[in-house]
């Protein structure tokens, strides 16, 4: 029964996030907010709403390992599994922005996460630092794109989502999305706790493996479809952007609501895999003209080794 609630929870989170984004984007555009600003704010927060709801619900229910484990596992999964599978389908040519802007911010946020977590708690002021960095970066990106006439992927996504629904449909999407996210988060957390009790493992193990994989599914589907259509230039930027958002927005907002306890297991094990794969991504992007299939296999092997080591650590 736990598996059923887990699947239902993940499905509700994915569908709820999609409905929330569609409704919110359409309402924001009707309010004459520019597609660029909508893409950088409404879409970014909306697509991360499932992870945010899970994180908030978990920490408020007294399961911080579920909250932190899902973020750490998802970030490792995005680079190791999702990027690995994407380049197996079609190799990626790395653009300059991924090297000069996206990766440096990802590594900065990851190391800040590591240093803030060393004392076992990410509190209010650390959360404020995370959110402030994300806010400043978003404003800078908007200004830069307008000044240089760059169309960001977020703006393109808004144009695809703008279907011109009547306002009552937008509100309905919004309400359905919020309800699905709420119940999806509750079902997911209940199933994780129940499975941990049933099988005698930690909530963290289930979170960094099953929950993290589930919350990475949208990125996997998006990146895989982009690879099939040979539009892989956006894939790596989206994946790095998702990792940045997971740390700065999800952990930031969650720790502002309630101090986030970081277990010794995460600090002494999972964190080093996260730092390791984040650092390894630079030479993978830098050397050679593209991220090819050999590098893809390496990334997948790294991810599988992490999952195996996580399971072995519990036994």
Mean pLDDT of the chain: 83
pLDDT at 60 over 70: yes
pLDDT at 163 over 60: no
The pLDDT tens digits of the residues spanning 129-151 come to 999 999 998 888 777 766 665 55
pLDDT value at residue 13: 82
Please determine, looking at this structure, whether the domain spanning 2-314 carries the CATH number 1.20.1420.30: yes
Q: Give the confidence band of 249 by pLDDT, cuts at 50, 70, 90.
A: very high
Q: Which of 43-47, 125-129, 174-178, 207-211 has the lowest mean pLDDT?
A: 43-47
Greatest mean pLDDT among 4-13, 153-162, 240-249:
240-249
Q: Which of 42-56, 198-212, 244-258 has the lowest mean pLDDT?
A: 42-56
Report the alpha-carbon distance of residue 175 to residue 179 in Å, rounded.
6
pTM for this entry = 0.87
Report the alpha-carbon distance of residue 306 to residue 219 in Å, rounded.
19
pLDDT value at residue 112: 97
Listed residue (108, 149, 150) closest to 132, CA to CA: 108
Ramachandran angles phi, psi of 291, nearest 5°: -90, 105
Q: Give the confidence band of 234 by pLDDT, cuts at 50, 70, 90.
A: low
Q: Strand 121-122 and strand 260-261: pairing? A: antiparallel
The pLDDT tens digits of the residues spanning 250-282 come to 999 999 999 999 999 999 999 999 999 999 999
Helix axes 293-314, 64-77, angle to 10 degrees: 160
Listed residue (221, 253, 223) closest to 240, CA to CA: 223
Greatest mean pLDDT among 13-27, 99-113, 219-233:
99-113
Report the alpha-carbon distance of residue 284 to residue 287 in Å, rounded.
6
Report the alpha-carbon distance of residue 207 to residue 213 in Å, rounded.
9
């Amino acid at each position: 029964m736990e598996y059923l609630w887990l699947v239902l929870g993940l499905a509700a989170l994915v569908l709820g996030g999609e409905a929330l984004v569609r409704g919110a984007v359409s309402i924001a555009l009707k309010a004459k907010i520019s597609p660029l600003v909508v893409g950088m704010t409404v879409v970014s927060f909306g697509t991360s709403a499932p992870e945010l709801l899970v994180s908030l619900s978990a920490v408020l229910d007294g399961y911080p390992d579920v909250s932190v484990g899902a973020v750490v596992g998802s970030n490792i999964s995005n680079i190791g599994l999702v990027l690995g599978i994407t380049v197996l389908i079609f190799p990626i040519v790395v653009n300059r922005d991924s090297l000069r802007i996206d990766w440096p911010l990802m590594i900065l946020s990851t190391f800040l996460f590591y240093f803030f977590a060393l004392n076992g708690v990410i509190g209010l002021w650390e959360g404020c630092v995370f959110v402030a960095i994300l806010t400043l970066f978003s404003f800078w990106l908007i200004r830069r794109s307008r000044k240089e006439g760059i169309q960001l992927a977020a703006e393109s996504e808004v144009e695809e989502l703008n279907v011109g629904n009547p306002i009552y449909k937008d509100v309905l999407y919004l309400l359905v999305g919020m309800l699905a996210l709420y119940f999806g988060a509750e079902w997911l957390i209940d199933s994780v706790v129940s499975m941990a009790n049933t099988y005698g493992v930690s909530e963290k193990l289930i979170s960094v493996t099953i929950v993290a994989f589930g919350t990475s599914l949208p990125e996997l589907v998006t990146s895989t479809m982009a690879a099939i259509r040979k539009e892989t230039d956006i894939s790596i930027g989206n994946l790095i952007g998702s990792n940045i958002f997971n740390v700065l927005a999800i952990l930031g907002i969650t720790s502002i609501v309630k101090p986030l306890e970081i277990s010794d297991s995460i600090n002494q094990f999972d964190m080093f895999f996260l730092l390791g794969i984040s650092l390894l991504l630079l030479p993978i992007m830098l050397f050679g003209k593209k991220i090819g299939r050999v590098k893809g296999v390496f990334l997948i092997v790294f991810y599988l080794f992490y999952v195996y080591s996580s399971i072995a650590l519990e036994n």
